[in-house]
């Protein structure tokens, strides 16, 4: 199973863009890269998924370089409600969660 490495925590202020980078050096050919968000006492919530290049949806963008050994989740103009743990995962059928990145957004 591919493992991921991401920062333990990040701090930001409201209105700023936040980029969280994840490394996954041994990603397999058929693995997708997926990011989840989790608030305390809730199940994780899907944010975005990609295979290569760039993916954008209404809440985030995901940048994946050609070698796919890393990925960057970009959250535009964060708000206080974006304070949560963000998980980067690689895989196809089963998911292995790491400890995630605790993002704290301050006023």
Which of 60, 82, 100, 105 touches other proteins (CB under 8 A)?
A: 100
Closest CA to 89 of 1, 12, 13, 8: 1
User: Does residue 45 touch other proteins according to CB under 8 A?
Assistant: yes
The one segment of 14-22, 59-67, 68-76, 93-101 that binds other proteins by CB under 8 A: 93-101
The one segment of 11-19, 20-28, 58-66, 87-95 that binds other proteins by CB under 8 A: 87-95
Give yes or no for a contact between 21 and 70, defined as CB atoms under 8 angstroms apart.
yes
Give yes or no for a contact between 49 and 55, defined as CB atoms under 8 angstroms apart.
yes
Helices (H) and strands (E) in the chain, counts: 0, 9
Least distance CB 54 / other proteins (angstroms): 15
Instruction: Rank residues 6 and 70 by Cβ distance to other proteins and give the closer one.
Output: 6
Which of 29, 43, 58, 81 touches other proteins (CB under 8 A)?
A: 43
Tokens of 58: 């209404």
């Amino acid at each position: 199973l591919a493992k991921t490495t991401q920062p333990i925590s990040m701090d930001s202020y409201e209105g700023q863009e936040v980029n969280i980078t994840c490394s996954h050096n041994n990603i397999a050919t058929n693995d997708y890269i997926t990011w989840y968000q989790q608030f305390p006492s809730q199940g994780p919530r899907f944010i975005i998924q990609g295979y290569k290049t760039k993916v954008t949806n209404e809440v985030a963008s995901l940048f994946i370089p050609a070698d796919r050994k890393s990925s960057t989740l970009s959250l535009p103009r964060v708000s206080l409600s974006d304070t949560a743990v963000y998980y980067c995962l690689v895989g196809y059928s089963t998911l292995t969660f790491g400890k995630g990145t605790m993002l704290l957004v301050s006023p």
